[in-house]
Chains A and B, each alone.
Chain A
Amino acid sequence: MRASGLAADYVYEDEVGNLWMLAWSPVVGLVKYDRQAKRLTNYPLGEGAVGIASSNFLADGRNGFWVSSSRGLCYFDRRAERWTYRFQHDETNPDSLNDNTVASVYRDRGGLLWVGTEDGGLNLLNLQQEQFGFYHHRANDPNSLSPGKVTAIYEEPGGILWIGFFPRRLDRLDRKTGQVTHYVPGPQHKNSLGEGADLITIYKDVHGYLWLGGWGSGLVRFDGRTGQFKHYVHKPDDPNSYPADNPYKIYGDRTGQIWVGQRYGLSRLDPATEQFTNYRPDPSNPNSQSNAVWAVYQDHTGTMWLGTRGGVLSRFDDKTKTFLNYTPDPRDPRRLYGGGITSIHEDRSGTLWVGGWDGLYRFNHHDGTFTRYTESQGLPSSVIQGILEDKAGRLWLGTKKGISRFDPKTETFRNYDESDGLQGDEFSESCFFQGPDGEMFFGGSHGFNAFFPEDIRDNPYVPPVVITSFKIINKRVPIGANSVLTKAVSYVDGLTLSYRDNVFSLGFAALSYANSYKNRYRYKLEGFDPGWNEAGSTQRLATYTNLDPGRYVFRVQGSNSDGVWNEEGVSLPILITPPWWRTNWFRALCVVVFLALLWAAHRLRVGQLEAQEKKFREAVETMPALAFIARPDGYRTFVNRGWVEYTGMTVEQATGSGWEAAVHPDDLEKVMAAWKTSAATGGPLDYETRLRRGADGAYRWFHTRAVPLRDKRGKMVKWCGVANDIEDRKRAEQERDRLRQLEADLAHINRVSMMGELTASIAHEVNQPLSGVVSNGSACLRWLAGEAPNVEEAREAARRIVRDGRRAGDVIARVRALAKRAATPNEKLDLNEVIREVLALVADEAKRNSVVVGSQFATDAYSVLGDRVQLQQVMLNLVMNAIEAMSTVHDRPRELLIATRNLDADQVEVTVNDSGPGIDPNMIDKIFDPFFTTKPDGMGMGLSISRTILQAHRGRLWAAAKDSPGTIVHFSIPKYREDESNAAA
């Protein structure tokens, strides 16, 4: 049959042989050709001039076609033989198609639709997200929901949905027609919904009245037949009136009675009289939050259960009108925790579940305890907003973070969030409803979801896993003939790496693009990792460093966003080749080389031994010392060439005891004695003697040492000895002794000369106590004279005479000690005390120079080991220098500060701090040089000697400039140690 004017260039044959074409003339849409009936059927896409952007269409593999058009992406259901969906651009919805002109559509292995548009780029459609039906507000669309947060949902049989909102609104949605009726708040009137914050509870009674409640309003009854509202308000004088402004929950029990949970408890409405009977769960405390009933539920036995704002679960006994309260206690894990209760549900097994702010609770009827589930057990949020049950006995929980499906048998949670097509993450308190056919409704911030739980399936798509990148030391490896990669890493069968390339990274991906950020991964390197490494979608990179050479297999597995794993994954064998020095052939080579070396060494040794004797003889003959061999009795059997040349004797002359002629006659006796002693004891010989030089007859000092050689039995066989010329060393020693003496003399001169400088002061120091002695003496005599001698005063005066006399004696003793020439022994010294004595000597000198002397002695200063006189000399030098330096100062106080402190655990430091003119920084190191002086009549030895003294004490002396005028001279000296004193002694 010829179809006139049919323009189509793609034909699809379905399973029964029908042919399908996309036509743009004469109709725009699908055309079916029934081959059996030989009949064409047109399915126009829409009204008006609609162009089809692509001549192609896509069979979805089931019973439909995806058709791209200039008015969006359309879906045709072949069984229903009609267009069922159309995805179009929606200004207000960023998740809608970007552009209505769809150019192409492609379905990937994961079932995602990739939609190419003319101006809106590539769009991805995840139909998985469509399994949660989503109803929400659309701007400028009167048949969409009211704006605001959905706070209540009720479905009446027949597909009419009632939806309450914050801010207060009521919507009636006819799901068959899609028509929405909006009721807005207004003054309390029979034609108005009334004022209030929101609408949080809706119930339709058996008489066809719709009951509404919310914050800040009374109870409202709406008659849909007449469109009239009736408002029940609280009348203070009527105990049977409605008691509160906040109906939290309107609940119809199985007998058709209406219960209202409100601010002050539970109210029961008698429909006949329209009177309320009010009950309080906590009658003893009318204002307790335990009375604010949020949740009302009737179990299969007809028992009423209440959940309150105060976290109390109450069992209401309808016969006695009393409550049995299960009160919270956060410290007891088997009781309720305390947050408000939003929902109560009894499952098909008769278990009661309670949802609240602190988690989901299972009520254990037999002992009245609760088992609590929180985020720790896998809930997305511990705040439970609603509980519903599906036909499989699983609980669906609305929470603050999405919806969670809980399987009480396995106690596991499966969590859904916005990316799964939910209205948003946050669901409203107690805003849930289950229709008679099992459809579930949960409302929240952006609308509500309606779904059949059995339709909610995990994305079954097992994603392929691929290795996407390969990097060595964080650098992408180029692909090429000379590279490790001869083709893209996704396609290679294995990798061979050198031991140098053993820092490498492998990137990988699971090819599932539906919520790909929720894809999960696990990888391991067999031969290295003991187990799987888990990774999220942001860590799609495995890095390995410093692997030993060897064979490995890298394996990755990935899952889609719903946790369906590709268990097979992908694997990549990796071989790391060893470095050449770890290869077997190299090891073998090493063995060969070692053996060759061994043989060469043996040959060498034999040759060496042959040469050795000759060499030794030469060595002995030519060594720069006088060598000899003697019998045990001292009879010389051999002298070397050195001996012969030095003494000028012949070998024959020196043999036997002839050598004695070369010894200085004064030393001969000593030498003989040494030989005799050693011959007797067998101990080594060691003596110094002068030997005559044959050339000029001069005597030089030699150090002779000889050791006995013994046979196996220990019997002495002979002596081997050498004599070394130590003339130069001997002289140096003498020189050093002379210098040391000179230094001591100089130090003494320095001390004495300082004594000279101090004469006047010392005289004063003696004179002061003497003055006291004289005065006291005179006074003493006076007190004793006369008729009534005052003995007490006289005794005091005499006591002072003794004291002052001693004081004068002390001064003199100090001066004598300093002036003495003899060395004093090192001893344990209190440095503070040593300095105090010096300060006593110079006190008057300081006074006469108007210098104020201060001291800061560390009370815990360590003791030191030293020569008292020498250290005092150092102090004296430093203090006198400071006083002298300050003599030119007239415009500021002349201040001298002496301080001691522990420098560290081993050192004590003394500082002498003056306010003099200071030292030129360029000169600061020169001041310790001998003969350096700034004084016209100074010798320039004081500081030099002081430094020498301190060096002998293993201390240090140095000077530093100050910020303020003046100089600080420091010296440090090691702390006294017990072991040292013993060594010194």
Chain B
Amino acid sequence: MRQPDAIIAIVDDDLSVREGLESLIRSAGWRVETFASAQEFWARPRTEAPSCLILDLQMPGLSGLDLQRRMAEAEVEVPIVFLTGHGSIPASVQAMKAGAVEFLTKPFDEQDLLRAVEEAIERDRLARRRQAEMHELQRRYASLTAREQEVMQQVVSGLLNKQVAAELKISEVTVKIHRGQVMRKMHADSLADLVRMADKLGIRSGK
């Protein structure tokens, strides 16, 4: 499945490679942005994150692996397809471990590259959807009052209403009212649903 509006970023210091790649990827119907160095990419205006980053491993200054690390630290999730002229095994292992989509050795096969790009776009699509869901959940969770958040934390950790009331030193009736509000505000159909949301939000204590 092709997403015509996806943007593919190419970072390679070699003009031949960069222009060849650009033409190839455009011929496949995607939009392309090119950068001659990792710094240039890092300094680009942050309008819209690309769906895929084609990144040369060896570049003067900031290397491909450096950029990958920096993006991870900044929690910028862009699927990366690595290119290398040498194909050193330790580097490729490191890149794949850090979540690269593919690791291609120059000169690469056209089909391999396009397939990797497609996979990256798909990963990105999923990641974006996951992120959108997460944002929604966080928005809902933020709409809870402090007391409701407390109640939710207790409930998803498996405590009964009575236990929650004792823990928070409030009446059981009050717990029920808060719990109803939590379910409604969080759009949870069931307790299991709520627990799953709590997992995603990372608020379930290990009790």
Q: Which residues of A contact B (CB under 8 A)?
A: 760, 763-764, 767-776, 778-780, 782-783, 790, 793, 796-797, 800, 803-804, 807, 844, 846-848, 850, 852-853
Contacts and interface: CB of A to CB of B under 8 A. Distances in A.
Contact of B60 (A776, A804, A852): A852
The secondary structure that dominates the A interface is helix
Contacts of B20: 771-776, 779, 797, 800, 804
Contacts of A803: 16
B24 A768 contact: no
Interface string B111-155: 000000000000000000000000000000000000000000000
Nearest to B21: A775
A764 B12 CA distance: 14
Contact of A852 (B19, B61, B63, B106): B61
A766 to B, nearest CB: 10
B3 interface: no
A793 B107 contact: no
A846 B58 CA distance: 11
Nearest 9 CB-CB pairs, A to B?
Answer: A775-B20, A772-B16, A782-B27, A778-B110, A779-B23, A771-B106, A772-B20, A779-B24, A774-B107
Q: Which of B19, B21, B28, B85 has the most CB of A within 10 A?
A: B85
Contact of B28 (A773, A782, A797, A848): A782
Interface in B91-109: 106-108
A774 to B, nearest CB: 4
A779 B27 contact: yes
B23 A771 contact: no
B59 interface: yes
Nearest to B63: A850
Q: Say which size band chain B's interface belongs to.
A: 20 to 34
Contacts of B85: 763-764, 767-768, 771, 844
12 contacts: A764-B85, A764-B86, A768-B16, A770-B106, A773-B20, A774-B107, A778-B110, A783-B23, A790-B27, A796-B23, A800-B20, A850-B63
Contacts of A783: 23, 27
Contacts of A797: 20, 23
A767 B107 contact: yes
Contacts of A763: 85
A782 to B, nearest CB: 4
A797 B19 CA distance: 9
B6 interface: no
Q: Which of A782, A793, A803 has the most CB of B within 10 A?
A: A782
Given A760-B86, A793-B23, A768 B61 contact: no
Contact of B24 (A782, A848, A852): A782
Given A775-B24, A847-B13, 9 more contacts: A763-B85, A768-B16, A768-B106, A770-B106, A776-B19, A776-B24, A793-B23, A803-B16, A848-B58
A776 B14 CA distance: 14
Nearest to B23: A779
Contacts of B86: 760, 764, 848
A172 B54 CA distance: 118
B107 A771 contact: yes
B17 interface: yes
A800 B21 CA distance: 11
Contacts of B24: 775-776, 778-779, 782
A770 B107 contact: yes
A807 B20 CA distance: 14
A779 B113 CA distance: 12
A800 B17 CA distance: 10
Contacts of A764: 85-86
A764 B56 CA distance: 13
Interface string B10-48: 000111110111011011100000000000000000000
B14 A768 contact: yes
Nearest to B85: A764
Nearest to A843: B60
A314 B39 CA distance: 92
Contacts of B26: 779, 793
B24 to A, nearest CB: 4
Given A764-B86, A807-B16, A775 B23 contact: yes
A764 B14 CA distance: 11
Given A767-B85, A800-B20, A847 B59 contact: yes
Nearest to B24: A779
B60 A847 contact: yes
B90 to A, nearest CB: 13
A779 B25 CA distance: 8
B14 A772 contact: yes
Contacts of B107: 767, 770-771, 773-775
Given A764-B86, A771-B107, A775-B21, A847 B16 contact: no
A839 B159 CA distance: 71
A770 B19 CA distance: 12
A682 to B, nearest CB: 72
A772 B19 contact: yes
Interface string B53-78: 00000111101000000000000000
A767 B110 CA distance: 16
Nearest to B16: A772
A768 B86 CA distance: 11
B27 to A, nearest CB: 4
Contacts of A776: 19-20, 23-24
A783 B26 CA distance: 9
B128 to A, nearest CB: 27
A776 B23 CA distance: 7
B30 to A, nearest CB: 12
A778 B112 CA distance: 12
Contacts of A773: 16, 20, 107
A767 B20 CA distance: 13
A769 B110 contact: no
Contacts of A780: 23
A774 B108 contact: yes
Contact of A772 (B17, B28, B59, B110): B17
A770 B17 CA distance: 8
Contacts of B15: 772
B15 to A, nearest CB: 8
B58 A847 contact: yes
B106 A767 contact: yes
B73 to A, nearest CB: 20
A78 B85 CA distance: 134
A807 B16 CA distance: 9
Contacts of B23: 775-776, 779-780, 783, 793, 796-797, 800
Q: Which of A760, A763, A772, A790 has the most CB of B within 10 A?
A: A772
Contacts of A852: 60-61
A769 B24 CA distance: 15
A804 B28 contact: no
Contacts of A778: 24, 27, 110
Interface string B179-200: 0000000000000000000000
Contacts of B17: 768, 771-772, 775
Contacts of A793: 23, 26-27
Contacts of B106: 767-768, 770-771
Nearest to A797: B23
B59 A804 contact: no
A775 B54 CA distance: 13
Given A767-B107, A771-B108, A852-B61, A800 B27 contact: no
Nearest to A782: B27
A790 B28 CA distance: 12
A803 to B, nearest CB: 8
A780 B20 CA distance: 10
A133 B15 CA distance: 108
Interface string B152-163: 000000000000
A538 to B, nearest CB: 79
A401 B110 CA distance: 109
B112 to A, nearest CB: 11
Nearest to B111: A778
A296 B52 CA distance: 110
